[in-house]
Chain A
Amino acid sequence: MNNAQKVWWQQAQSDHSLFIKLRRIGAHECHLLHYLQMTTEKLSKAYLWRSGKVPPKTHTGFVRFLKALLDRRSADLERIAKSLGFGRGVDLENWVSSVQLLAYALQNIAPAEAQDGPNPEYPWPHESPANCPASHNFALWKQLLNTGHGRKLMDFIGRAITNFAAYA
């Protein structure tokens, strides 16, 4: 792991720990989604720094991170899969395929990607604000909380943060 990866990982860990605390105290859904999205963004940047090249500044990195993980050599992939709670590389591959739309939804909920629609930070629409994130019920949060895919994705993010050194 290079130094750039270390500092991005450190920030991702901090964001994720705050997500856990916010969830524990029953914070509004917008704050939970905000910190979960930021966790994945920073995790993705930590990973993509493994090449030593600067990743883009955009919020949209989580799906790239998942794809890049699967592109590792097959021997690495087996080891990575185990560190992330999967029995085999093919299990991780199948799961990534099945969770893509949810992963896109999480990365695209950042205000810059949300097309002036529901986002966890700013009232929308921008020109005539009528919706407040703090009082909004996010369909994405329901999916994360109430579906097996959603809960598995949150579990995966936690493992990916904790075990980052094993695959960085």
Chain B
Amino acid sequence: MANTTEVDFDRDALAKHYAKRHLATDAGVEEIYYLPTDSPPREIRFLEVNRLISETTPLEPIDFGVDTGTADAHTLYVLDVTPAQWKAIRSEQLPLPTGWSLVDSQQLVHSNGNRS
């Protein structure tokens, strides 16, 4: 029998919802990338390029604790990086957290508010 909780869960749509909200409410966010490759099916991974955080911030994804203990339970991880760190990641000078990948990543929003 199909598990209805799995059928009802639309990760891509939810990712777009969260990205839009983050851009609207966080003045520091310039770009948001959604990284679905290799992530568990109920896990949303964001890389957020943020101009208002300092370089001292370690590259640690944070579990936002969005929704637990319900039929819609899922996890939202956000990795905050500075523009310089993002440049280093793209040139492979700075590694992503273990298990994270830019393969097939999607830029959901950028600072002019447009969604791709």
Contact = CB atoms under 8 A, between A and B. Distances in A.
B98 interface: no
B102 interface: no
Nearest to A55: B62
Interface string A108-127: 10001101000000000000
B65 A70 contact: no
Contact of A104 (B22, B28, B57): B28
Dominant SS at the A interface? helix
Dominant SS at the B interface? loop
Nearest to A56: B60
A58 B18 CA distance: 24
Interface residues of B, number: 28
Interface in B42-67: 52-54, 56-58, 60, 62-67
Q: Which of B22, B53, B67, B72 has the most CB of A within 10 A?
A: B53
B66 A101 contact: no
A21 B77 CA distance: 37
A71 B57 contact: no
B27 interface: yes
B28 A100 contact: yes
Given A71-B76, A72-B67, A48 B24 contact: no
Interface in A84-132: 93, 96-97, 100-101, 104, 108, 112-113, 115
Contacts of A66: 25
Given A51-B75, A71-B21, A100-B28, A108 B52 contact: yes
Contacts of B27: 100-101, 104
Given A70-B21, A101-B27, A108 B65 contact: no
Interface in A26-57: 47-48, 50-51, 53, 55-57
Interface of B: 18, 21-22, 24-28, 52-54, 56-58, 60, 62-68, 70, 72, 75-76, 78, 80
Interface of A: 47-48, 50-51, 53, 55-58, 60, 63-64, 66-68, 70-73, 93, 96-97, 100-101, 104, 108, 112-113, 115
